[in-house]
Every structure is written in structure tokens, then in C-alpha cells.
Structure 1
Amino acid sequence: MATLLHIDSALFPEGSASREITAAFVRVWREQHPDGQIVHRDLAAAPLPHLDATAAIEGAGNALRAELAAELAAADAVLIGAPMYNFTIASTLKAWLDQVIIVGHNTGPDSPLAGAPITVVASRGGSYAPGTPRAEAEFVLNYLKTLLTTMFGAEVDFIVPELTLAHSKAEMAELIPLADASRTRAFAEAEEKAKALAARLAV
């Protein structure tokens, strides 16, 4: 029985591109694993405290950090909704990462997360793809890939719905076709990746 840890960090419960895509991923995952377990943490609805000096010193001896680390270690796969805010991830997601990453406990070559598949839905209002004017301001993908592979040795994959503000910003109206194409592609990738991951873990 496979377990999926699903993390959402979008601020708004409705109209969020990352939430829509993670929900699609979860729906397909559930179809493939009807008897499986899905653990969902909504960091906007129930934000975690930022890491303080006491919790940092206590490490795995801190009850909350131990709980989060155990939850992560028990997951066969992880799904993270990580929309871009001010060129980076939500502070609630950063708080979760700071709490759950415990050096000497779940990091390094012997990490229980080594090789674990982590799928990140990194939505953004504009485009930060290579060759675009804001490519150098793309800090979400670079940060999360570096962090999760370096600390955990995890296998990180991304789904990137772009131009999500095109329908609501008059100055982006000409980009609506590209936004719609990106959205369609993201949903297709969510379905494909969920099915592939489910099949892989069923072996």
C-alpha cells in the first residue's frame, strides 16, 4: 500500500493553479491506488511555526520536527504545490522545509529520502523559462531542486504551469493562448506522472 504525502502552499483555497494541478495528480494517484494512503498538509490553512533557536537545537528531539520528519520518511512519494510569490516559494513552505530538514537525522548519503520521488507543481503568474526576459529571476525550481537533492538525495520532478495571470491581467491578454496551452500541458503531465509513479511503486 503506497503512501503519498501531499503538500499545498498556495495562499488561496480557490482559483489556485497549483492546487488544481496537485488535485488532478492526487485524483489519478487515488485511481491507481484505491487502497493507498494520502496524507495532506495544507500549509495555508494550517501554517507551521517558523524554525526558532530552541527547535533548531533540539533537532529530532523536538516533537513537531520529529512528527514532520517521520511523516515525510513514511511517504513512498511526495507531491508539493509550490506557487511562486515574489520570485520565490511561499514562506509557509519554507517553514515546512526548515522544520522537516534535520541535519544528522534525515539528511546526507544515508537519508531515508534518498531516491524518493518528489513531484513539485511550480506555478507562476508569468514565465521564467530560459530565454524569457525574467529567466534570471527563476529561483523556485533552482532552489527546490538544489535543496531536495542535496539534503535528501531525492529524485525531483517538476510540473510548471506558467502565465497563470494572463486571464486576469489586461496587459497579458495576448499571452492567453500560451497560458491555456501551459495549463493543458500541466494537467496532462500531472496525469502522466501520477500514473507512471503509481506503476513504478506498484512493482
Structure 2
Amino acid sequence: MHLFRLDASIRTTGSVSRALADTAEQAWLAEHHDGVVTRRDLGAQPLPADAWTALARAAVDPAAPPADEARQLVDRLGAELLAADAFLFAVPLYNWNLPAQVKAWIDLIVMHPRLGLHGDQPLAGKPAVLALSRGGGYGPGTPKEGWDHVTPYLRRILGEVFGLDLHIAEAELTLADVTPAMAPLRGLAAESLKAGHEKAAEHGLRVAELIRT
């Protein structure tokens, strides 16, 4: 069995999204001891920022320079997804939105002839865990309700454009322990983190079971 894991946090230690993904991955590997995990770490190794621009320009401007390197990159990124049986995406919220490195990855993936908007959804129905972390609180009734622009976007891309069977584990208020003004929220933050890891373990196991049957 083959799991594709994508990380996006710029933090290699202390990252909540990475920690949630670790929990999900461990649960998955417990069921697939010989499973293969392909990793792409966009936080540590961002994709070239000009790759999508080069491809898009070449598509609309006959006089544009060739974009062979960008096309080869799209092929490699697409091959990673097409080879996988299950998926694990670990994404933090930065400035109320998607990290730039994740948007760059998505923009390139949707240029792939099979995975993009006009493809045949070869990933449809395959299971995926989405591990999300948010520094503040964005639930109903909070001051920042509606400011989380990551979760709905990824639901659309991963769940509808790619057709993945998406299972979400999330933790909020992750900055409470290091932000004095958020000190009264530290109890809630601990509860959210605990629930996030529980969901990550549950979803990792569920995804493992789904690809075994």
C-alpha cells in the first residue's frame, strides 16, 4: 500500500499540523507495516514560484519562452499522486489563508492533464486525511468566524476537483501557549489539540481500512 504525504508548515519542529499528520501516519502504518510513504515537504522545499506563471504564459502566448521544466515538474507532481492509494495533507492556516507554497502546488497540479479541471478524476473515491492547524479560533460565534479561508478551499479542491474521500482532523488556538493575550484560552487549546490527535488517529486507521477492503 502506498501513502502520499504532503506537509506545508514552515516549522520543522513544533508544528501542530505536522504532529497531527504524524499521528495519522502512525495509525495508517500500524495497519500497513510494509506500506510505502512518499513525502513532499513544501515547507522545507517550496516549489519554484514562477513555474505556474511560465506554464500559463506559454498556454496563451505563442511568443512566450518554452516552459519545458515547468511541464516536467507538473508531470512529477502528478505522478506522485497517481501512484498513491491514500493521502495525508498537513496544512496550517497562515494569515487567514492557504500557505503560498500549497497554492503553488495546487496551481501546478490543476495543470496536469488528468488531475486538473478537465481531467477524468483518477483519484476519485480514494481516501485522504486532511490535518489542519489554526493559531486562533474560527468557530461559530467567535470574533473571527468566517476568516478561515483554508478549510472550505481545500474541501473544494481535494474533495470536489480531485474527488478524494476526505476525513478532517483539526486543532485550533495553537498560539495560545505562546501568546499572553490568549492565556485564558489555553484550556480550550489543549482540548482542541487532544481532540485533533484523536481524530487524526481515528482517520488514519479508517483510511487504512478503506484501502484494505
Q: TM-score, normalized by length of structure 1?
A: 0.92
Q: CA deviation at 1:8?
A: 0.5
Q: What is the correspondence of 1:18-97 to structure 2 with a 5 Å cutoff?
A: 18-50=17-49, 51-56=51-56, 57=59, 62-97=71-106
CA–CA distance in 2 between the matches of 1:116 and 1:128? 29
In the alignment of these two chains, the number of paired residues is 202
Q: Distance in 1 between matches of 2:150 and 2:207?
A: 23
- The 3-state SS of whatever aligns with 1:153 is coil
Q: Which amino acid aligns with 2:179?
A: K
Could you tell me which amino acid in structure 1 is paired with residue 132 of structure 2? A
Indicate whether 1:167 and 2:177 are aligned. Answer: yes
Deviation at 1:148, TM superposition (A): 2.1
SS state at 1:28 partner: helix
**2:25 is matched by which residue type in structure 1?**
V
Contact kept? 2:136, 2:173, Cα under 8 Å = yes
Task: Give the match for residue 166 of structure 2.
Answer: 156
Question: 1:54 Cα deviation (Å)?
Answer: 3.1
Q: More deviation in 107-116 or 6-15?
A: 107-116
Alignment deviations for residues 126-155 of structure 1 (CA, whole Å, 9 cap, x no partner): 111122221121111111111223322222
* Aligned residues of 2:172 and 2:193 also touching (Cα < 8 A): yes
- CA shift, 1:28, in A, is 1.6
Instruction: Say whether the 8 Å CA contact 1:149–1:155 is kept in structure 2.
Output: yes
Residue 98 of structure 1 corresponds to 107
CA distance in 1, matches of 2:109, 2:128: 14
> How big is the shift at 1:103?
5.7
C-alpha contact (below 8 Å) 2:113/2:119 kept by paired residues: no
Which amino acid in structure 1 is aligned with residue 159 of structure 2?
T
Q: Which residue of 2 aligns with 1:110?
A: 120
The DSSP-based 3-state class of the residue aligned with 1:23 is helix
- Alignment RMSD (CA, Å): 1.9
Tell me how far apart the structure 2 counterparts of residues 109 and 15 of structure 1 sit (CA, whole Å): 38
Measured in 1, the distance between the counterparts of 2:122 and 2:30 equals 27
How far apart are the structure 2 equivalents of 1:109 and 1:193? 28
Task: Report the Cα offset of residue 104 of structure 1.
Answer: 4.0
Q: What CA distance in whole angstroms lies between the structure 1 residues aligned with 2:132 and 2:152?
A: 11
In 2, are the aligned partners of 1:69 and 1:101 still within 8 Å (CA)? no
Partner Cα distance (1:197, 1:46) in 2: 27
> Where does residue 126 of structure 1 map in the other structure?
136
CA distance in 2: counterparts of 1:144 and 1:76, whole angstroms? 19
What is the deviation of 1:55? Answer: 2.6
Cα deviations across residues 162-202 of structure 1 (Å, max 9, x unaligned)?
A: 00011111111111110000111111111111111111111
Following TM superposition, by how much is the alpha carbon of 1:105 offset from its aligned partner in structure 2, in angstroms? 2.3
Measure, in 1, the Cα distance between the counterparts of 2:34 and 2:207: 16
Q: Is the 8 A contact 2:52 2:108 kept in 1?
A: no
2:63 paired residue number: none
| CA shift in 2, pair 1:109/1:149, >3 Å | farther
Is 1:194 the counterpart of 2:204 in the alignment?
yes
Q: Unaligned 5+ residue runs, structure 1? A: none
* Contact 1:7-1:80 within 8 A present in 2 as well: yes
